[in-house]
Structure 1
């Protein structure tokens, strides 16, 4: 986003910046009119105007940190009051015109600089807002891409798992045991008679432990 100052906007800004410089001219004219109304060589009136000029200058000095055009207006009013005090007291116009010219020039410079500072601050604020908006849009797009990537990864993983399960199921051997016919396990009458004979019983009995041998001297004593 760029800001292109137009001719009308630049002229209006210049008028707003130069407007405080009109205060010394107005106050100088009023001071000269006051001179013809009885303020000539009046110390009291001159002291009053000097006090007002000092108070206005102090107000401008206190408000200079806040920025804006108020310090320029205070400076223009202070210069105009000082010129009016001189013009109201003195008969000649040389010193009042010098004070008026200096105060007008300084006020115009201060007003223009204040206006430029305000314009610069507005542009910086607009640029910061634009940067924040672009950063927010970038973060939103990045999160959307990440979410889409996670969804696609989950889909691919699920497809591979399903395919692996199908391959495993297809390659695993399956064993099926056929049921045994009970008739095959039945013994015939001849087999049952053979198993019931004494010979078969003797053969099926577990082996018995052998008896201990008789020592030679025991056999000799017995004989």
Structure 2
């Protein structure tokens, strides 16, 4: 009870890696769908390669920066909350150690231990490192591994950029007569892959995730293309 077993530590690190992988897949998916919708919409209005490249690059940079900023702000807020919770726990341990020992005992009891075993475990954990024990058992926080906003921001930036590059390259590299078809097929294939990957990482059946992903991407491209075609026909 005084320290996590090797298997528990392995499961924790595996869970963290899976969360990062899932976030990366979803970030790439956002990059694919948003950039594909943008360039396909522009393609509905014009087949000028420079216009498509400009729109695609603008969407890629704006989207990746937006994702990175949003993740940085969100995770920074989470980290501030974790630090505040640890500071409050440190104060309570200093001012009312007996009450905190009883609280830890009750938490361990709630996990299935008998009163006697929970009390002995709480005492041993408190003697070893009271703050770490309360942080992990009560708050679900590892004081040595707080969330890092910069890691989250860079991960979101890179995953979105990687996803956005696919529709951007698919729309500007082929000839004018083939670029729309190549883009749509490439995007749908990529969405199939990200839908399958997200389902596998979440230990869920892949078919619903794939159908949602592909249908959503196809709908986004269809709507933006129709809007671009209407604007192009109107001479806007």
TM-score norm. by structure 2 comes to: 0.29
TM-score norm. by structure 1 comes to: 0.31
* Structure having the higher Rg: 1
Name the one with the larger helix percent.
2
